[in-house]
Structure 1
């Protein structure tokens, strides 16, 4: 079963082969879409394509930074002696020795510029393929570690988000109870006002009934409450079917739209209070959903 995942995490992998060693670090933070940034060593241009493909195969959202460092040891065995330059230095050294100068030492000759040189790049091309593959494998390992790190964040987010969804469900139930009393409250309020303004008007009772019914229709919040109930069910389903961050983002907008309409239609102080609390909880839930992949 796919686990809920956050978007913040870290992964690292190290490796070595011959006189080469490398380290890979993968980091990620929240992001609306998947964005992969790569920094690698010179001469390994193909790694960026491999790294981005690997990230896209594992992650769906977040700003991901992949950093690869690779270095070659400076062992003497990896260096070559330029015999032509050395021979020219020896000729000059012998001429100076004949004139009374101290004969050159081996370490002194090797320290002269151009005598020791790194292997030509052309010599490295043959070995570059296996080396690049080994570093690419380390990138995969670092991304796997990053994914595990993000899943751990998801484990921490799940009970928090579920708690907010439970609270919304409780508030919707309270709103349904309060909304049921709105019609009577509207009728009583309208009756008092009409009676104060026109206590002896003919057909007063019928007019009160018709006006109260019209007001009750405008204040009917059953559709909003039904949609909020459906959104609660959708949120629970999405939490069990990750990655669902984008869908949850959209669902938060729908939650808030219904809560705003509920407040605007409210005819009682109690229902307005429930609506305002509902909006506050939805906003808290939205902030947590921003962390979900």
Structure 2
């Protein structure tokens, strides 16, 4: 079952210590390239996030961002690291002594902004991280659901074009005996007009040679085979995008050969239509995981 590499998911949870919001978005990429934007308090869970993503996704450039809105009900909720404040105050006094008259007074609000001054010691760090990881799993599941829905739509578009490819193959195969007969008659008419007395056996050899050059049975058979293989591959998941991309190249190769062997406008037009259909599928395949 194909999955698109394009998707978006958002999950929000109200927790005892605040509100956590995950947003994950993904676009096309040859490989899996995850990136994370995390608050400082949650940097250490990034390896867990990467492991979860690698287990669930194969390809795509994926950006995941976590935002936390802390719940602050009053000053009692703020834990002040007194030791850190003392260190900062002492360091500021030393600098002021060196600066002398040019020294500025120490601002308490500036000290509060310094990392490590305000602590959240009352919070269970492991519980916080576990809740955020659980919410990430939910967001990742939502992303996969989005990518799967788009993948289903892409599959239907590809199947429609595969049916059109098969229709063109049937059309050309049905016309080939008529085309070859017309070419035989055309050659005989030209010889008669030139009043050339050609040995019947030599004439037959020329006709056989013409038929061999115009023979596209092998190309038509390969087109049918590739169509069957594409349909079979659409039921798989492992490296599906890369496999389909290869098959699009093979389909295009046969369409080009059919065009080069064309001796009438009908087969030329069919080859052009085949290449248009294949290019449309190739564009869709570029978005499949």
How far, CA to CA, are the matches of 2:170 and 2:285 in structure 1?
A: 23
Q: Could you tell me whether the CA contact under 8 Å between 1:80 and 1:117 is conserved in 2?
A: no
CA distance in 1, matches of 2:245, 2:21: 36
Contact kept in structure 2, 1:40 and 1:69, CA below 8 Å: yes
Q: Whose radius of gyration is greater, 1 or 2?
A: 1
C-alpha RMSD of matched pairs (Å): 2.8
- The aligned residue for residue 93 of structure 2 is none
Cα gap change, 1:41/1:188 in structure 2, threshold over 3 Å: closer, same or farther? same
Q: What secondary structure, in the 3-state scheme, does the structure 2 residue paired with 1:141 have?
A: helix
Deviation sequence 1:53-92 (CA, Å, 0-9, x none) = 211111112211101112433331222468899xxxxxxx
In the aligned structure 1, how far is the partner of 2:266 from the partner of 2:288?
A: 34
TM-score (norm 1): 0.80
Distance in 2 (CA, whole Å) between partners of 1:178 and 1:140 is 56
Q: In the superposition, relative to structure 1, how do residues 153 and 206 fare at CA in structure 2: closer, same or farther (>3 Å)?
A: same
Distance of 1:192 and 1:157 partners within structure 2: 51
Gaps of at least 5 residues in structure 1 are: 86-111
Q: Cα offset for 1:126?
A: 8.2
Task: Tell me how many residue pairs correspond in the alignment.
Answer: 264
**Which segments of 5 or more consecutive residues in structure 2 lack a partner in the other structure?**
86-106
Is residue 31 of structure 1 aligned with residue 26 of structure 2? no
Deviation at 1:233, TM superposition (A): 0.5
Moved over 6 A (4+): 81-85
Compute the displacement of 1:284 (Å). 1.4
Provide the rounded CA distance (Å) in 1 between the counterparts of 2:179 and 2:44.
68
State yes or no: 1:135 paired with 2:102.
no
- Give TM-score, length-normalised by structure 2: 0.81
Q: What whole-Å deviation, never above 9, does each CA across 1:110-165 have from its counterpart, x for those lacking one? A: xx837x95975777498323322221111111100100111111222222221111
Question: What secondary structure, in the 3-state scheme, does the structure 1 residue paired with 2:30 have?
Answer: coil
